[in-house]
Amino acid sequence: MQLTELNIFPIKSTAPIRLAMAEVSKHGLQWDRRWMLVDADGLFITGRKFPQLTKIQTAVHKDSLAVFAPGMETLYIPFDFPFTTKRIVRVWKDICEVPAYGAAIDDWFSTFLTSPCHLVYMPDDYVRPVDRTYAGPTDQTSFSDGFPLLLISQSSLADLNSHLETPVIMDRFRPNLVVHGCDAYAEDQWQQIRVGEAIFKVVKPCSRCIFTTVDPASGVRNLDGEPLKTLSSYRKRADGKVYFGQNLLIVQKGRIKIGDAVELC
């Protein structure tokens, strides 16, 4: 088995950056979901409500994060931004107090989404714990839904597409790691894997939502409910949730790259 895709999503719910190599940090992959948009009440904003977020693209430059979107001038967010305020924000059940940007940056996103919003950032020293039901006291994550990384095998996507009238691409499911060379849903049985210098614990299947019905290229939700409708016909468990992919915790940090062997350990 080998690693064939390596993705980060610097701003939560926006388009991926495809990498050839990445460093695994305590939060997950470097730069992954370290920025997030929130509404006036501090509630996190995602592609579930604003599917057009998938049309926002980013690029990591030496001194800034560049942000692009159709019809918008390029926005550059300095890494050394002089924060003066913080916001209390919520990601599902987690409450975080994190640095917030000012109106100049907020207005760019509010204009594109045609809805007032604010951009916040998670610093390197901020600790957002992972649900202790699945994790230890030192495990943490960024602004992800709940875990540092998500993994899916290419065979699992191929199996799903064999059930669909119109195939979908892997971007529908927003994985950080994509693995080639195993059977469909083999990842459901894994407990721990080594990829390059890093080791990951496979802890929990990922429950899927309406975000999977958004076409990432157009930023429009499929009205037919696919591929979630088809997934629910054979990947729904007794708890009523539909699972596809596996959430990972970090056992050992290090560098990983495309082509690395993926080994059970």
**pLDDT tens digits, residue range 114-145?**
999 999 999 999 999 999 999 999 999 999 99
The mean pLDDT value of the chain amounts to 97
Supply the pTM of this predicted model.
0.96
How many residues are given for the chain? 265
Residue tagged 């050839």 (tokens): 20
Instruction: Pinpoint the alpha helices (H) of 73-113.
Output: 103-113
Question: pLDDT, tens digit, for every residue of 76-112?
Answer: 999 999 999 999 999 999 999 999 999 999 999 999 9
Measured CA to CA, the distance from residue 51 to residue 42 in angstroms comes to 19
Closest listed residue to residue 7, CA positions, set 238, 169, 115, 243: 169
What is the average pLDDT across 143-153?
A: 97
Q: What is the pLDDT of residue 11?
A: 98
Q: What are phi and psi of 157, to 5 degrees?
A: -65, -40
pLDDT score of 238 more than 90: no
Measured CA to CA, the distance from residue 116 to residue 38 in angstroms comes to 9
Instruction: Pinpoint the alpha helices (H) of 27-149.
Output: 103-113
Half-sphere exposure of 219 (CA within 13 A, CB side): 17
Q: What is the pLDDT of residue 95?
A: 97
Question: pLDDT, tens digit, for every residue of 159-209?
Answer: 999 999 999 999 999 999 999 999 999 999 999 999 999 999 999 999 999
Classify each residue of 146-166 as buried b or exposed e, where b means 16 or more C-beta atoms within 10 Å of its C-beta: bbbbbbbbbbbbeebeeeeee
Above pLDDT 70, what percent of the chain?
A: 100
Closest listed residue to residue 175, CA positions, set 215, 210, 220, 206: 206
Q: Could you give the domains of the chain?
A: 2-27+131-264 (2.40.33.20), 34-121 (no CATH)
